[in-house]
A and B are shown apart, each in its own frame.
Chain A
Amino acid sequence: MEAVLFFVAAIGALGGAIGVIAMRNPFYGVLALIVHLFSLAVLFLLLTAAFVAAAQVVVYAGAVMVLYVFVVAYVGGGAESAWEPIPGQRFLAPLLGTALFVELAIAVLASSLLALGHDGPHVNPGFGDPAAIGYLLLEKFLIPFEASSMLLMLAAVGALVLAGHRDGARGGASAGTPREREPDEAPPLAPTGDPA
């Protein structure tokens, strides 16, 4: 049963990943990434990481992907230009990707870590549930936790500065007021509040 679930989720994750890099339209790429993220959540559940799986679905598939969909809808999915500055990049990239995979696989499988071949030790039923993770976050890793919340706020402020209506100079001062209401900078603030 576990093996069946693993292979179904692995095929979903891999298919989603290939969909992301193969789809011409970025909107379909975002949808493929959502499939990938849900499959990864199943894999996390198989690894008894219930809280990480829930955070994956709520934060990633819920909030971050909504942000992507908004930006893709705003920017519009344009086709990529045919101009290639590096000749042969289309053929070089799969080659390098395969080389990277082979290298990583060799590094993992030849590491002679005996524990890699097993299912992992037996764990208590509470392993990876919100209570245990919350305890770790607030007791042992309080400073990294607070630092990550600081990072989230910095990112939100940075995005506001980057994508704010600073280029209102182009449209003149009159264009500034209606534009203030429109920018999709409200979404970045909403999802970034969630993960922490």
Chain B
Amino acid sequence: MSIEWYVVLSALLFATGAMGILLRRSPIVILLCLELMLNAGNLALVAFSRMVGNQQGQVFALVVMVVAACEVVVGLGLIVAIFRRKLPLDVDELRELRG
């Protein structure tokens, strides 16, 4: 399979994730869609590293994975904090920043 297929698939997955973020309102689903976009970026990184024949892109993909794990931990912490305050879990209703 030529590298093109992988890169176009990654573009398709990225667009799907972006569409999900625009479409959905539950913060959990938005985090899941962020995962989709990060994974699409990972796929492109690994595909390009295969295209060049250099493993450094794979190291970059691993770092992206670490950053995604951090993002998940903080995002889910926020969701739990919102839930504990009995606020609605809906990004359209959580529009005001107040202490």
Tell me the bound Cα distance from A184 to B80 in angstroms: 9
Tell me the bound Cα distance from A141 to B3 in angstroms: 26
Tell me the bound Cα distance from A115 to B89 in angstroms: 46
| A98 neighbours in B (Cβ, 8 Å) | 15
Number of residue pairs across A and B with beta carbons under 8 Å?
258
| A85 neighbours in B (Cβ, 8 Å) | 92
- Could you pull out 17 A-B pairs where Cβ atoms are within 8 angstroms? A20-B29, A20-B36, A21-B23, A29-B29, A33-B32, A47-B49, A49-B58, A60-B68, A68-B31, A71-B80, A80-B90, A101-B15, A105-B8, A116-B2, A144-B63, A148-B63, A158-B77
- Which among B6, B9, B18, B20 is the interface contact of A20 at CB below 8 angstroms? B20
CB distance from A115 to the nearest CB of B (A): 5
Tell me the bound Cα distance from A77 to B25 in angstroms: 12
- Which among A2, A133, A188, A192 is the interface contact of B55 at CB below 8 angstroms? A133
Q: Are A14 and B12 in contact (CB under 8 A)?
A: yes
- Which among A64, A97, A123, A151 is the interface contact of B67 at CB below 8 angstroms? A151
Secondary structure of the A contact surface, majority rule: helix
Tell me the bound Cα distance from A162 to B69 in angstroms: 16
Q: Are A56 and B65 in contact (CB under 8 A)?
A: yes
Q: Are B28 and A26 in contact (CB under 8 A)?
A: yes
- Which residues of A does B touch, CB under 8 Å? 2-3, 6, 10, 13-14, 17-18, 20-21, 26, 29-30, 33, 36-37, 40, 43-44, 46-49, 51-52, 55-56, 59-60, 63-64, 67-68, 71-72, 74-75, 77-78, 80-81, 83, 85, 89-90, 92-94, 96-98, 100-101, 104-105, 108-109, 115-121, 123, 127-128, 132-133, 136-137, 140-141, 144, 148, 151-152, 154-156, 158-160, 162-163, 167, 183-185, 188, 191-192, 195-196
Q: Are A93 and B3 in contact (CB under 8 A)?
A: no
Q: Are B55 and A162 in contact (CB under 8 A)?
A: no
